[in-house]
Amino acid sequence: MSEASTAKLSNCETHWYVVCTKSNQERQASLNIGRLGVGYFLPLLQEQKIIRRKIRTVVTPLFPGYLFVRINLSEHYRMVIYARGIQKMVEFGSGPVEVDPSVIDVIRGRMTDSNIYVLDKSKELKLSSGQPVQIKDGPLAGLEAVFMRELPGRQRAIVLLHALALQARAVVDIDQLAPCLAA
């Protein structure tokens, strides 16, 4: 997001929201949102993957299928939901849910200048479904969650976060998890 658009957005009351993008169109959706003059944040994850029997470095969205936008809801809602590549705005109950700016700041604080988080090699960690864990590293460091399951390839896991006054699923690197010690 450019400095000019940041200054323009700070003049009116804006908040962070999450939008669902169409399948594999996070980058295209962010470009289209940016062209509309709306602030956005697309955190990316750089990791090593085995593709066709070779280890390759790939950059994918940290939250596949989602994009953060900073808008004045009354002025930009329709413009955002009808932007190319956007499927819908994340809503709970009566309307779109605001994302606490501190969550965005924590994620941004862990990224490089180009909004990329570099993931290191994974190690084995035995966790069972329903086990409380703490995220010890990465953009969500310090948050507590419940381990749900490992994803194929044993490099990432799905956890249920207890944050933002709601429960949300997140995909994190298995190395970033540590079992919570009983109090």
Least confident residue range of 15-19, 134-138, 142-146, 150-154: 150-154
d(CA 82, CA 69): 14
pLDDT tens, position by position, 170-180: 777 776 677 77
Euclidean distance between CA atoms 70 and 8, whole angstroms: 12
What whole-number distance in Å separates Cα of residue 26 and Cα of residue 145?
Answer: 25
pLDDT of residue 182: 53
Pick the closest to residue 123 from 77, 41, 73, 178 (CA basis). 178
Domains within the chain, CATH numbers bracketed: 3-118 (3.30.70.940), 132-179 (2.30.30.30)
Least confident of 88-92, 129-133, 146-150, 166-170: 166-170
pTM for the model stands at: 0.61
Looking at every residue in the chain, the average pLDDT score rounds to 79
CB 109 within 8 A of CB 77: no
